[in-house]
Amino acid sequence: MAPVAASIRKPTITLGRTDHEKLTRLAEAVQAGSAEVSDVLLSELERARVIPDKRLREDVVRMGSRVCYATEAGEVREVTLVYPGEADITAGRISILTPIGAALIGLSSGQSMDWRARDGRVHRLVVQSVGVSEPGGQGQ
């Protein structure tokens, strides 16, 4: 498994302290029932550079951010990163507890990242823009 993991590109990510603490608790809380997704999120949280919330740039993906990204197939998508209870794929609200949600957290405009879908395939996305957090996106 190590050669596959080594082939996935993981850029530097940055998280605010509040998101880091809340997401760590969330990932640990769901670990028994959703170990695979929890492990992916915990891995991202462990490698993140954690800074005070006030120092986090507006173009960094955090909970509640509206993110526009392009796929390796050239498709452009716009989604909002939310907690599991707020997820609604038809409304473009994706859960942090999905492979794409975990891949987006902490990225900033212009960064690209490879991520593994639930079917095992590796995909690449490029963040084009990050909107200001929505009210209610934080603190759920």
Tell me the average pLDDT across 12-20. 96
Dihedral Cα 31, 17, 63, 24, nearest 10 deg? 0
Q: What are residue 94's phi and psi, to 5 degrees?
A: -105, 140
pLDDT at residue 140, rounded to an integer: 39
Q: What are residue 22's phi and psi, to 5 degrees?
A: -65, -40
44-97 pLDDT per residue, tens = 999 999 999 999 999 999 999 999 999 988 999 999 999 999 999 999 999 999
Q: Where are the domains of the chain?
A: 2-130
Instruction: Pick one of 3.30.2310.20, 3.40.50.740, 3.10.50.30, 3.20.20.140 as the CATH number of 2-130.
Output: 3.10.50.30
Tell me the average pLDDT across 23-41. 87
